[in-house]
Amino acid sequence: MILSIAEALRKAIYDEMERDDKVFHIGEDIGIEGGFGGAFTVTLGLEKSFRDRIIDTPISEIGIFGAACGAAVMGMRPIVDVQYGDFLFCAMDQVANQIAKLRYMSGGKIKVPVVMRAPVGVTGRGSQHAQNMEPYFLSCPGIKIIAPSTAYDAYGLLKAAVRDDDPVLIFEHKLLYGAKGARKEEGAIDASSEIPDEDYTIPIGKAIVRKEGKDATIISHLLMVHHSLQAAKTLEKEGISCEVIDLRSLWPLDIGLISESVKKTGRLFIVEESPKQGGIGAEVSAQIAETIPDHLISPIVRIAAPNTPAPFSPVMEKFYIPQPERISKEVRKIIEEY
Amino acid sequence: MEHEDIIKELGKEKLIGFYTKMVKIRSFEERIRFLFLEGKMPGTIHQYIGMEANAVGVCSALQKDDVIASTHRPHGHAIARGLSFNEIMAELYGRTTGCCRGKGGSMHLGNLEKGMLTAIAIVGGNLPIVVGMSLAFKLMKQNRVAVSFFGDGASNEGSFHESLNMAAVLNTPSVFVCENNQYGASTSIKKVMKIENIADRARSYGIEGVIADGMDVIDVYIHAKDAIEKARKGGGPTLLELKTFRFCGHSRRDPGSYIPKEEKESWQRKDPINNFKKLLLNEGLAGEDELDDINNLIEKELDESIIFAQESPEPAPEDTLKDLYATMEVPE
Ligand SMILES: Cc1ncc(C[n+]2csc(CCOP(=O)(O)OP(=O)(O)O)c2C)c(N)n1
Ligand SMILES: [Mg+2]
């Protein structure tokens, strides 16, 4: 059946809760009758099937993440919803000091299998409901990070996350959910997929080639995969062949797949929606420069948001988010020069 | 004091002022709701319809150099604090003439020169800052007060508890105004709190907790004035809970299906503007015509502000790179 990302995540949560009664979901406004099913409809209606395990909370992020941490240590499999990724900062002590470190500090004797669901993306709401905060967590050892750009991956990755014995942070993009009705997002992109009627998972740590090519490697995740594919399509018509890789997992990074592609194309472009400063591009390009510098025939290019918070005005917002035109321009420039 | 005496003491001018401010907020919110429905306005909004008496009652008790801090629902606070329709409307349109030059948008309205900090859309996020602002007033020996507006939902955040306790022990000139509109987004406060009155939480921190009727601007004003003057005189912080309700969804995209019809209707009977209007008419403080004139003037002012906003320049895309640091350009 064809599902949107919101529906695929909902199905994954449903299926995992049915498979394992240790799985529960906790968060603000996730299971209120007549409510929204979380800010982006992902949990809509799940409370009808699992009233005891869809847990609505007060607005208390430290409490929510701490409770998930404690329950996980005691053998449960919590999934936490944080409404907007931006509010992860409110829970940061529990996330970065506790969830990420408890196992290590116990000498490997404790397991903390928490799944944290965080919507990201710049979407007309101003600086505090907009952040793509992936890089903050890229520098936080102890947490795995995933980011699905299609419904097929959303289903398989979330299931893998629930079954994983380590903390997993899943970033979901507001413009990719495919939320319907009153909660439809302006400027949304269709990321729905055919979801087979089978119990599949997608391994954490594996990227995927979305489009093969030979002149340049473009790597990205979430919304930027869709923008990169659009750019690649434009460039293809001009005779420039781009390989587009969807990272899917940000930690661990599938540096193997990226390297293979760079060895083939000799050119690397990293596209991300967060500021360039300390971003994913910095990590990836450092790893490539450290390991296979001789394969590069041109400088690595990072295409990212400016080093500022997200602005509100639509004009500035459009400038802020790397657009397909900007991606193709940057690629074209390098190809012409080198 | 009896209500009647209070009305006498406040006098006609002040009361008409309350009415005008409340209608300004209501009319503004109704108007931008349509602009949104017509797709003319970008972004998202959290509206203040039904809660007008809170912002107006509290802000009317402030002095010019006092400061307020607001939330994701700041339109009412901004208007009550004296920001102009023009600077608010232009901000909602993301124009350079907006109070945040188009960088903030609906959830971050503010103008410190007019006594309002840039609104903070993180629930519970402004309370510690208000402690800091009032601490500054105390340290600088300025006779000023800082006021935090926040919701029932925010009082479940750790920051609420830390802030009240800190303000108490530092004895800062702060007033914490909890607008208890019975819901935090779709969640009924009954579901997330075992106590009836948020004001009771004040006792745990050794400060005064006071309840006022958030649907009655006079009641709000009197209680706010007490708390503000007490803070100004060095008497320390107060938690002021205003019992209120929003007559609209949580945000623009929320039809509010989780609110029982009877609950909504019972609150709508307490409409702060309708009831106050009746009072003004019954007490002979104003005639229908006079109040109609006020409404018409406000509508006209709104028309003008929409034109002002729509005709104001859009920022340049590169303006994104301005305003981040006070001391340097944004580094590459
Ligand atoms: C820290 C944080 N958590 C969650 C949210 C999402 N959110 C925005 S408003 C809101 C409800 C706030 O309720 P309340 O404090 O009662 O204020 P009201 O909306 O009723 O004015 C929520 C959960 C947020 N903005 N910040
Ligand atoms: Mg509320």
Residue A172 lies in a domain: yes
**A29 contacts in chain B (CB < 8 Å):** 185-187
pLDDT for B253: 84
- Binned at pLDDT 50, 70 and 90, residue B1 comes out as low
> Which structural domain, as residue segments, surrounds residue A71?
2-194
Lowest mean pLDDT among A71-85, A167-181, A256-270, B212-226: A167-181
Residue B223 lies in a domain: yes
Evaluate whether B70 touches B126 at the Cβ level (below 8 Å): yes
CATH number at residue A312: 3.40.50.920
Percent of chain B with pLDDT over 90: 95
**B95 contacts in chain A (CB < 8 Å):** 313
- Spell out which residues line ligand 1, taking CB within 6 angstroms: A 28, 59, 61, 83, 87, 90; B 72-73, 121-123, 150-154, 181, 183-185, 250
- A261 and A177, same structural domain? no
- Binned at pLDDT 50, 70 and 90, residue B252 comes out as confident
- pLDDT single digits (tens) B98-131: 999 999 999 999 999 999 999 999 999 999 999 9
- Binned at pLDDT 50, 70 and 90, residue B174 comes out as very high
CATH number at residue A173: 3.40.50.970
Distance, in Å, from the CA atom of B93 to the CA atom of A3, rounded to the nearest integer, reads: 35
At residue A185, does pLDDT exceed 90?
no
Q: Which of A29, A127, A314 lies at the smallest CB-CB distance from B94?
A: A314
Put simply, the answer to whether B122 touches A126 (Cβ < 8 Å) is: no
Number of neighbours of residue A336 by Cβ within 10 angstroms = 8
CATH number at residue B170: 3.40.50.970
Residue A200 lies in a domain: no
Put simply, the answer to whether A128 touches B316 (Cβ < 8 Å) is: no
Q: What is the reported pTM?
A: 0.97
Percent of chain B with pLDDT over 70: 99
Torsion of CA B45, B50, B53, B58, to 10 degrees: -40
Q: How many structural domains compose chain B? A: 1
- Domain boundary at A166, A194, A222, which? A194
How does B189-200 read in b/e, with b if 16+ C-beta sit within 10 Å?
A: beebbeeeebbe
> Which structural domain, as residue segments, surrounds residue B299?
3-321
- A138 and A24, same structural domain? yes
Residue A133 lies in a domain: yes
- A152 and A291, same structural domain? no
Task: Report CA Rg, chain B.
Answer: 20
Put simply, the answer to whether A32 touches B318 (Cβ < 8 Å) is: no
Residue A202 lies in a domain: no
Which has the higher per-residue pLDDT, B40 or B67? B67
Evaluate whether A208 touches A196 at the Cβ level (below 8 Å): no
- A163 and A92, same structural domain? yes
- A176 and A247, same structural domain? no
- Mean pLDDT for all residues in chain A: 97
Put simply, the answer to whether A315 touches B186 (Cβ < 8 Å) is: no
pLDDT for A183: 79
Evaluate whether A263 touches A294 at the Cβ level (below 8 Å): no
- pLDDT single digits (tens) B70-103: 999 999 999 999 999 999 999 999 999 999 999 9
Question: How far off is chain B from A196, nearest CA to CA, in Å?
Answer: 32
- A232 and A274, same structural domain? yes
Distance, in Å, from the CA atom of A148 to the CA atom of A258, rounded to the nearest integer, reads: 17
Residue nearest to atom 20 of ligand 1 (CA): B184
Tell me which ligand sits closest to the C-alpha of residue B186.
1
At residue A50, does pLDDT exceed 90?
yes
User: In chain B, where does DSSP find H-type helix?
Assistant: 3-37, 52-59, 75-81, 85-92, 127-139, 158-170, 189-192, 217-232, 261-268, 272-282, 288-311
Burial (CB < 10 A; 0-12, 13-18, 19+), residue B141, is exposed
Ligand 1 atom closest to the Cα of residue B180 is 16
At residue A76, does pLDDT exceed 70?
yes
Tell me which ligand sits closest to the C-alpha of residue B49.
1
Q: How many structural domains compose chain A? A: 2
User: Average of pLDDT values for A274-300?
Assistant: 98
At residue B59, does pLDDT exceed 90?
yes
For chain A, which residues lie within 8 Å of any Cβ of chain B, measuring from their own Cβ?
28-29, 32-36, 56-63, 86-87, 89-90, 124-129, 182-183, 277, 306-309, 311-316, 318-320
- Domain boundary at A170, A194, A218, which? A194
Q: Which amino acid is at B105?
A: G
pLDDT for A220: 98
Lowest mean pLDDT among A184-198, B79-93, B145-159, B296-310: A184-198
- Residue among B145, B125, B127 at smallest CA distance from B136: B145
- Binned at pLDDT 50, 70 and 90, residue B256 comes out as very high
Residue B212 lies in a domain: yes
pLDDT for B40: 86
User: Average of pLDDT values for A87-107?
Assistant: 98
Active site residue A129: yes
